[in-house]
Amino acid sequence: MQIWDNFLYILIEGEPNSPEVEFIERAISRLISEAVLPNINYDVVEIGGGGNFNSIAKMIYKKSSLHKEIPVIAISDKDFRTQNQVNVQNEKTDDHLIKNKAARIIYWERHEWENFILEETETIAIIFNHIPTQAPNDKPVRRNTTNILTKEQLDEWLLQYFKDSIVKELVECLRFRFRERANTRFSLKKLNNEVLPSLPEIESWLRKEIASAAKEYRNNIRDQKSMLNQKLQEMSWSSWLNDSSTIDFNQAKTFFRGKEALTRLFGQAVNHLSIQNLSYETFVGEILLRELENNVNALIVQQLGAMLKPYFQRCC
């Protein structure tokens, strides 16, 4: 990895074939061209999992003069972290981070970047409706010439998906919190096809999973059984589980897993319009994100600008 002396380094999570790096680079360029961000030298680096942030940051601190004054930046999914966990990171001073060769972790304000895309259902509908009904064999083509998509239809599908996913999202949150708090390699099993329609059944499942931990982990996890009650106090989970119609659509778009929701929405749209030769990865990475990156009013672009602006300004 080549490290430039006067560049601001921005580390991001992601796999080699994920679209985040190219999107963030192009969105930053757009924000600079619109004078939302000052024009500085920067580099966006994909580092795999968030556990690599500090090891990569240490390499950069050793060779960068700029990062003797400004911490290395790392953009991370919020996942199921509490706001208190985010605040702990935010309270660390720049001097502390630089001294300890640690990255300044900035969390997306939603579960992950895909959650911001869930607000763009009008744009998604327009893109799908403009897919041609005739095209070369390797290009996307819409076979259904009768159906169209609307923002309202996509929002309705999305809301129904969230209603159907309440238990699964609660369980995934518990699994994440357990890994974070127990600080062991042990993790709770996925639900797979199990049905847990009520809170008592979820609590029973959680207790059985914790009890199944290997003996050497018992000291680390013995206080985890209160985790469900703590989680239920954060949002209206009890109400949602008893009556899914009470779910808060905006809260679900913010806190539930965005990638799973966007993947389901894509599949429903493709089936509704009988679209062929279009994968989820192509739609998001090569079509949807390229449309959004040119719009500085798109929510995800606004969020990126707000996250980076204080550090770009300090580099001037």
Burial profile 269-290: b = 16 or more Cβ within 10 angstroms, e = fewer: bbebbebeebeeeebbbebbbe
Model confidence band, residue 213 (pLDDT cutoffs 50, 70, 90): low
Supply the range of the domain harboring residue 205.
116-284
Q: How confident is the model at residue 31 (pLDDT cuts 50, 70, 90)?
A: very high
Q: Which residues contact 102 (CB under 8 A, 6 or more apart)?
A: 53, 54, 57, 71, 92, 96
Are 158 and 48 found together in one domain?
Answer: no
Q: Does residue 130 sit in the same domain as residue 229?
A: yes
Averaged pLDDT, 196-202: 78
Q: What is the pLDDT of residue 48?
A: 86
Q: What percent of the chain has pLDDT over 70?
A: 92
Judgement on whether residues 195 and 308 belong to the same structural domain of the protein: no
Same domain for 138 and 84?
A: no
Report if pTM > 0.85. yes
Confidence of residue 219 (pLDDT cuts 50, 70, 90): low
pLDDT score of 218: 55
3-state secondary structure of 212: coil
Measuring CA to CA, how many Å separate 43 from each of 21, 37, 73, 162?
A: 10, 14, 10, 36
Does residue 86 sit in the same domain as residue 162? no
In-domain check, residue 103: yes
User: What's the structural domain count of the chain?
Assistant: 2
Residues 40 and 89 occupy one common structural domain: yes
| Same domain flag for 138 and 156 | yes
For residue 74, report the phi and psi dihedrals to the nearest 5 degrees.
Answer: -135, 125
| Both structure tokens of 108 | 């997306």
Contact 272, 144 (CB under 8 A): yes
Q: Which pLDDT score, from 0 to 100, does residue 186 have?
A: 67
Which segments of the chain are extended strands (E)? 8-12, 42-46, 73-76, 104-107, 141-142, 275-276
Q: Are residues 129 and 107 in the same domain?
A: no
Please check whether residues 141 and 232 belong to one and the same domain. yes
Are 139 and 279 in a shared domain? yes
293 in any annotated domain? no
